[in-house]
Copies of this chain bind each other. A is one copy, B any other.
Amino acid sequence: YKIALLPGDGIGPEIVPQAVRVLQAVAEKFNREFQFQTAMIGGAAYDATGHPLPEETLAVCRNSDAILLGAVGGPKWDNLEPELRPERGALLPLRKKLGLYANLRPAVVNPALADASTLKEELVSGLNILIIRELTGGLYFGEKRREDLPGGGQKAVETLEYTTAEVERVARLGFEMARKRNKKLTSVDKANVLESSRLWREVVESLAGEYPDVELSHMYVDNCAMQLVRNPKQFDVLVTENMFGDILTDLASQLTGSIGMLPSASLGGEVALYEPIHGSAPDIAGQNLANPIATILSAAMMLRISFGLEAEATAIEQAVDRVLQQGCRTGDIMQPGKNRLGTVEMTEAI
């Protein structure tokens, strides 16, 4: 299996190599072969080549069976023009060019960390929800412009578009995932106000007949934000458009109290991309402080989803559970009486 590694910025170059070590241990134990090729992205790529997403990086990605990304961005590149910044210059075009239309973000509470949440423990213990966010449409990729107004001042205009086909493919994934889990799908929109949400709801509704075993419901995005705080365990799988998904996935991951633990997958094109949910955390970069678990669990998702290596993925996940039970903690998830480890030592334990 050929794996493209895109360490990126901040703690990215620390955590991606830790996931590689875990993959190498898996390779030995299960007699598999992983080939790694590293490429530059984000601020690091900009500094080296003048562009945050070099053509060569795209080629490496396209030539691989899966991609493991660290994180991009940092204050150093915040004042570049938008198209050269790590976000709009690298992350969004990478998603678009590779056709990664579905972002899967599980929000799972590890039993050892149930009291890490700011929510009361009974509300989140055992929480296991999956949010599927549409990732290549909507406001993110619509036309954007600025006009000078005759009386002075300016006007910013941007466009939100969705087509039947764009909604259908991600909604189908929602139904398929719900089928494999607890068979409940919540489609989130703002159909009482937005035309795109009305189309969204119609298309999702039109597929329901093909998945009679899945219980479908619709929820407005404002209510969904409330319900995630009020009673997150009511949900199984959620599916929503790009901007709503951006907000709701971050909200949901915060419910767990330990975003340093949460992986994600972006699917759709020929090659899928896996990355931790957390950012590049420039403030703790280079100090062996970062929690490598989200990246390690992203590698496990890769083994399961892209390579079908179920036993190997489970082995990683169980190793993570075990070291947490044994009391191993990085700084972000430290609790009284536990054993505080650095990035490298945590990986060794796993």
A158 contacts which chain B residues (CB < 8 A)? 159-161, 194-196
A224-259 interface with B by 8 A CB criterion: 225-226, 229-231, 243-244, 246-251, 253-255, 259
A146→B88 contact, CB < 8 A: no
A229→B247 contact, CB < 8 A: no
Q: Beta-carbon contacts of A82-97 to B below 8 Å, as 1s and 0s?
A: 1001011000100000
B157→A85 contact, CB < 8 A: no
A163→B153 contact, CB < 8 A: yes
* Among A158, A200, A250: residue with most chain B CB under 10 A: A158
Binds B, one of A18-26, A116-124, A175-183: A116-124
Whether, in the assembled complex, A35 has its beta carbon less than 8 Å from a beta carbon of chain B, the answer is no
Q: In whole Å, how far is A25's beta carbon from the nearest beta carbon of chain B?
A: 33
Known: A88-B192, A192-B88. A159 touches B160 (CB 8 A): yes
A194 contacts which chain B residues (CB < 8 A)? 139, 144, 158
Q: In whole Å, how far is A141's beta carbon from the nearest beta carbon of chain B?
A: 10
A118→B193 contact, CB < 8 A: no
Copies of this protein chain in the complex: 2
A-B contact pairs, 24 of them (CB 8 A): A118-B120, A118-B230, A119-B120, A144-B195, A149-B163, A149-B164, A152-B164, A153-B163, A154-B164, A154-B199, A156-B198, A156-B200, A157-B195, A158-B159, A158-B160, A158-B161, A160-B160, A221-B247, A225-B250, A226-B251, A226-B254, A229-B229, A229-B251, A243-B243
A164 contacts which chain B residues (CB < 8 A)? 149, 152-155
Whether, in the assembled complex, A145 has its beta carbon less than 8 Å from a beta carbon of chain B, the answer is yes
Which chain A residues have a beta carbon within 8 Å of chain B's beta carbons?
82, 85, 87-88, 92, 118-120, 123, 139-140, 144-146, 149, 152-165, 190, 192-196, 198-200, 221-223, 225-226, 229-231, 243-244, 246-251, 253-255, 259
CA distance A158 to B157 in the complex (A): 10
CA distance A287 to B191 in the complex (A): 30
CA distance A194 to B146 in the complex (A): 11
B193→A140 contact, CB < 8 A: yes
Q: In whole Å, how far is A154's beta carbon from the nearest beta carbon of chain B?
A: 5
A198 contacts which chain B residues (CB < 8 A)? 82, 156
| Other-chain residue from B162, B231, B247 in contact with A222 (beta carbon distance below 8 A) | B247
| Other-chain residue from B139, B193, B196 in contact with A193 (beta carbon distance below 8 A) | B139
Known: A118-B230, A192-B88, A222-B247. A155 touches B146 (CB 8 A): no
Known: A119-B120, A247-B247, A254-B225. A165 touches B153 (CB 8 A): yes
CA distance A157 to B195 in the complex (A): 7
Known: A118-B120, A225-B247, A250-B225. A195 touches B165 (CB 8 A): no
A255 contacts which chain B residues (CB < 8 A)? 229
A156→B195 contact, CB < 8 A: yes
A244 contacts which chain B residues (CB < 8 A)? 247
Q: In whole Å, how far is A304's beta carbon from the nearest beta carbon of chain B?
A: 26
CA distance A222 to B163 in the complex (A): 25
A226→B199 contact, CB < 8 A: no
| CB-CB nearest 9 A-B residue pairs | A153-B164, A144-B195, A156-B199, A226-B254, A222-B250, A156-B196, A225-B251, A229-B254, A87-B192
